[in-house]
Structure 1
Amino acid sequence: MSLPSDDILTRPLGVPEPADASLKGRLARLRARLRPAHVYAGLAALPTGALAILLIVGDPRGGEPRTHAEIALREAPADQPRPASMEQPRMAEAEPAPPLQRSAEEVESASGVTVFRPSGSAAPSEAVVIRVPTVSVKLAPAPDARLVERGRHGAMPKVGEGRLRPLDLYARPEEPGSGPRIAILLTGLGTGQAATASAIVKLPPQVSLAFSPYGEVERSAARARDFGHEVMVQVPMEPFDYPDSDPGPQTLLTGARPAENADRLAWVMSRVPGAIGLANLMGSKLITDATALEPLLREVAARGLGFVDDGTAQRSLVASLAAKTKAPAARAEIVLDAAPRAEAIDAELARLEAQARAKGFVLASAGAQPLTIERVARWAKDLDARGIRLVPVSAALRTPAAGTRLSRAE
Structure 2
Amino acid sequence: MRLPKPNIRLPRLPLPFRKRRGGGDPDDPLDEADAGAPPPDDLERGLDDEPAPRKKGRWKRVASAILTTLLAVAVIGGAGGLVGWLMVNAEHTESMREIQRPQLTVNILNEGEEPEPNSSAGPTRETAQAEGAAPSGDDAPAAADGATEDGTAAKDGPEDGPSAVAASAPADGVTLTPVDPALMEVREDARLPIIAIDGRQPWSTYARPFDVDDTRPWVAVMVTNLGLNRRETDAAIQLLPGAVSLSFSPYANNLDAWLEAARSAGHEVFMDLPLEPLDFPRDDPGPSTLLTSLSTADNLNRMEWVLGRAPGYVGVATWMGSQFTTVEDAMMPVLEGLKERGLMLVDSRGSSRSIATELASSIQLPRAFNNRFLDATPSISAIDRALADLETVAQEQRVAIGIARSLPVSIDRIQRWTGNLERKGIVLAPVSAIADRQRLR
Give TM-score, length-normalised by structure 2: 0.62
What is the CA distance between 1:189 and its match in structure 2? 0.6
Map 1:225-264 onto structure 2 (within 5 A): 225-264=263-302
Secondary structure, aligned partner of 1:150: strand
Contact 1:221 1:231 in 2 (8 A): yes
What is the CA distance between 1:394 and its match in structure 2? 0.4
Where does residue 193 of structure 1 map in the other structure?
A: 230
Contact 1:201 1:227 in 2 (8 A): yes
Where does residue 354 of structure 1 map in the other structure?
A: 392
Where does residue 430 of structure 2 map in the other structure?
A: 392
What is the CA–CA distance in structure 2 between the aligned matches of 1:122 and 1:390, rounded to whole Å? 32
Map 1:313-352 onto structure 2 (within 5 A): 313-352=351-390
> Residue by residue, what CA displacement relative to the aligned partner does 1:244-292 show, whole Å, maximum 9, x if unpaired?
1111121111010111111111111111210100111111111111111
Where does residue 20 of structure 1 map in the other structure?
A: none
Map 1:2-401 onto structure 2 (within 5 A): 106=149, 120-121=157-158, 132-135=168-171, 136-142=173-179, 144-151=180-187, 153-175=189-211, 177-214=214-251, 215-397=253-435, 401=436
What is the CA distance between 1:381 and its match in structure 2? 1.1
Secondary structure, aligned partner of 1:340: coil
> Residue by residue, what CA displacement relative to the aligned partner does 1:340-381 show, whole Å, maximum 9, x if unpaired?
111010011111112212221111111111110000001111
Counterpart of 2:177 in structure 1: which amino acid? A
What is the CA–CA distance in structure 2 between the aligned matches of 1:320 and 1:160, rounded to whole Å? 27
Secondary structure, aligned partner of 1:162: coil
What is the CA distance between 1:128 and its match in structure 2? 8.9
Secondary structure, aligned partner of 2:220: strand
What is the CA–CA distance in structure 1 between the aligned matches of 2:250 and 2:201, rounded to whole Å? 21
What is the CA–CA distance in structure 1 between the aligned matches of 2:235 and 2:286, rounded to whole Å? 24
Percentage of identical aligned residues: 37
> Alpha carbons of 1:344 and 1:127: their partners in 2 closer, same or farther (altered >3 Å)?
farther
What is the CA distance between 1:311 and its match in structure 2? 2.7
- Unmatched 5+ residue regions in structure 2? 1-140
Contact 2:249 2:272 in 1 (8 A): yes
What is the CA–CA distance in structure 1 between the aligned matches of 2:255 and 2:283, rounded to whole Å? 22
What is the CA distance between 1:241 and its match in structure 2? 1.3
Secondary structure, aligned partner of 1:253: coil
What is the CA–CA distance in structure 2 between the aligned matches of 1:311 and 1:203, rounded to whole Å? 24
> Residue by residue, what CA displacement relative to the aligned partner does 1:126-155 show, whole Å, maximum 9, x if unpaired?
99956743441110111x111111235511
What is the CA–CA distance in structure 1 between the aligned matches of 2:423 and 2:270, rounded to whole Å? 29
Contact 2:345 2:365 in 1 (8 A): yes
Contact 2:226 2:246 in 1 (8 A): yes
Higher Rg: 1
Secondary structure, aligned partner of 1:141: coil
What is the CA–CA distance in structure 2 between the aligned matches of 1:130 and 1:295, rounded to whole Å? 37
Contact 1:127 1:194 in 2 (8 A): no
Contact 1:233 1:272 in 2 (8 A): no
Instruction: Report the aligned-residue RMSD.
Output: 2.6
Where does residue 6 of structure 2 map in the other structure?
A: none
What is the CA–CA distance in structure 2 between the aligned matches of 1:389 and 1:279, rounded to whole Å? 22
Secondary structure, aligned partner of 2:198: helix
> Alpha carbons of 1:152 and 1:351: their partners in 2 closer, same or farther (altered >3 Å)?
same
Contact 1:168 1:276 in 2 (8 A): yes
Secondary structure, aligned partner of 1:240: coil
Give TM-score, length-normalised by structure 1: 0.67
What is the CA–CA distance in structure 2 between the aligned matches of 1:323 and 1:153, rounded to whole Å? 32
What is the CA–CA distance in structure 2 between the aligned matches of 1:389 and 1:219, rounded to whole Å? 29
Secondary structure, aligned partner of 1:344: helix
What is the CA–CA distance in structure 1 between the aligned matches of 2:320 and 2:296, rounded to whole Å? 19
Secondary structure, aligned partner of 1:163: coil
Contact 2:322 2:351 in 1 (8 A): yes
Secondary structure, aligned partner of 2:274: strand
What is the CA–CA distance in structure 1 between the aligned matches of 2:170 and 2:243, rounded to whole Å? 14
Secondary structure, aligned partner of 1:320: helix
What is the CA–CA distance in structure 1 between the aligned matches of 2:159 and 2:365, rounded to whole Å? 42
- Unmatched 5+ residue regions in structure 1? 1-100, 110-118
